[in-house]
Amino acid sequence: MKSISPKNLKPMLTGEAEIAFLDVREHGQYGEGHPFFSVHVGYSTIEVEVLPLVPRKDVTVVVMDDCDGVSERAVRALQKLGYSDVMFLEGGAPGWVSAGYTLFKGVNVPSKTFGEMVEHECMTPSLSAVELKQRLEKGEPTVVFDGRPEHEYFKMSIPSARSCPNAELAYRIPALSLDSETAIVINCAGRTRSIIGAETLRQCGLSNPILALCNGTQGWSLSGFNLNYGTHPGSLPSVDSQARAQAAKTADNLIKRLSLPKISPKLLEAWKKDSERTIFIFDVRTEDEFSAGHRPDARHAPGGQLVQATDQYLAVRNARIILCDDTGLRAATTAMWLRGMGHDVTILEEDMSKLVSPRIDYTDGCMVIDAPLVSPEDAFGKVANGALLVDASRSKDYRSGHARGSVWITRSRATNLDYRFDDAIIVTGQEQSLIFGVVCEFLELGYKNLSWFEGSLKIWSQAGFEIEQTPNCPPDQECIDFLFFVHDRHDGNMDAARRYLEWETGLLAQLDDQERGIFQPPQSNLTL
């Protein structure tokens, strides 16, 4: 089994060759500290998650753990899937630190760090929550757009804010024919999408005053103002033929000004045949537009989220990224930011609105559980006769409710269980992908008397299991699949919100020269 030292890996992450650096720890462990260019693909669900993130199986893959043996197990799992050039990082996360390199706390770190750099380099104008509230109360011409996905808007939103995800802003706002004196304010939950959304409009040449709301919904709450909860996003601003033509013109201007590369469908087909390059094709329109028709080889990735959480869509550095939409504007604005983050991005010259095709299921065939499926009722009977019940649900779900007597388990900690190999074991949980991972691990360890069923509190109760809640079990330190500081800030914890915002604004200072050199924000639109 091959390994690589931190010293040898570090320059490869900013080199020209393709490489995937996967952190295979649980999500909470990853969020507490990971290398800047690592991508989370937890060992618990690695077989299900890795293919869309690393589609070319002969690309170089490096996996990292806590120096606890999980990397070696992840290497074997990837090799079983057909990945041929896989190695583990010597010393894991502790070894990375010992080599003198930084572990970054949080999630979507490159995207969020880039947002901070954009604000600094482009001098994106902003206003505080107090200033925004004063504008609204005085009746100063102001519109507020929430640049997050609709489900995040529904969870919490600023009163008067209208939902319009980031990639849709430049495409749809001109269709509203706002007075040029009306200020446009973009907000998110924190900072990044506010900055990127506002700067997108500025880069596209809108004449209105454009501002990012400093610290988003968290800043609004920290200022003592109330948020709305459960507000339906409503319809996006409609785009007629005239607005579409204007969007295409704006796209052409942006493409020319920033020298964004384009590709024809014919050349794309030739690129797809190149076995030595990884290629990702993303349709950056809305979910409804994608569902109505798209290329069969394209995955849906709303442009705003592709910029905000790039590491959730691809894990291969230096891969080719192809973006497509209808007018070219959403692809162009997305390409502008991804190229600024150091990615190889090209815009496809093809109108997606004229296509009709099924989507690709990347998980098909990857999750076949090699153990008998039993009914919840049969499982109850087996447990009554001495079978062991293990629950592979997420730790927070297990705390909220589980079958009494069941033992919580994560795949990476399966070796810690003191069971005999001939024990009858039933694996259950609320997500089949997590059950799959645990069953795979048990089989790898040598357990033979296995069965499984997927359940919920209602299903377990109906089968005869008594349900119990354990708010402190597993204890916080064992909830390695949950990142507390990211979630607590949205649950009324103002101290958590302050810490989160301090973390975001402090990201730039943690970069070394190699990491910083990857980012090249676009120059300010001098026509403004």
Give the N- to C-terminal CA distance of the chain in Å, as an integer: 56
Is residue 486 predicted with pLDDT exceeding 90? no
Rounded CA separation 528/521 (Å): 17
Question: Which pLDDT score is estimated for 147?
Answer: 98
Confidence of residue 106 (pLDDT cuts 50, 70, 90): very high
Domains defined along the chain, listed by start: 2-107 (3.40.250.10), 112-238 (3.40.250.10), 252-352 (3.40.250.10), 376-472 (3.40.250.10)
Confidence of residue 347 (pLDDT cuts 50, 70, 90): very high
* Mean pLDDT of the residues in the chain: 94
Q: Report CA-CA distances (Å) from 482 to 26, 29, 111, 439, 490.
A: 8, 8, 21, 21, 14
Is residue 356 predicted with pLDDT exceeding 80? no
* Verdict on whether the full-model pTM lies above 0.85: yes
CB count in 10 Å sphere of residue 358: 7
Is residue 528 predicted with pLDDT exceeding 60? no
- Residues 198, 118, 222: CA angle, nearest 5 degrees: 65
Q: Which amino acid is at 190?
A: G
Greatest distance between any 2 Cα atoms in the chain: 77
Q: Which contacts (CB < 8 Å, 24+ apart) does range 475-479 have?
A: 478/395, 479/28, 479/395, 479/396
Q: What is the pLDDT of residues 357-414, one digit of tens each?
A: 555 554 445 678 899 999 999 999 999 999 999 999 999 999 999 999 999 999 999 9
Which of 38-52, 114-128, 191-205, 346-360 comes out lowest in average pLDDT? Answer: 346-360
Which of 103-112, 121-130, 478-487 comes out lowest in average pLDDT? Answer: 478-487
Rounded CA separation 103/35 (Å): 5
- How many residues in total does the chain contain? 528
Q: Report CA-CA distances (Å) from 143 to 81, 183, 221, 324.
A: 50, 6, 19, 29
Q: What is the pLDDT of residues 431-448, one digit of tens each?
A: 999 999 999 999 999 999
Q: Can you tell me the mean pLDDT for 465-474?
A: 94
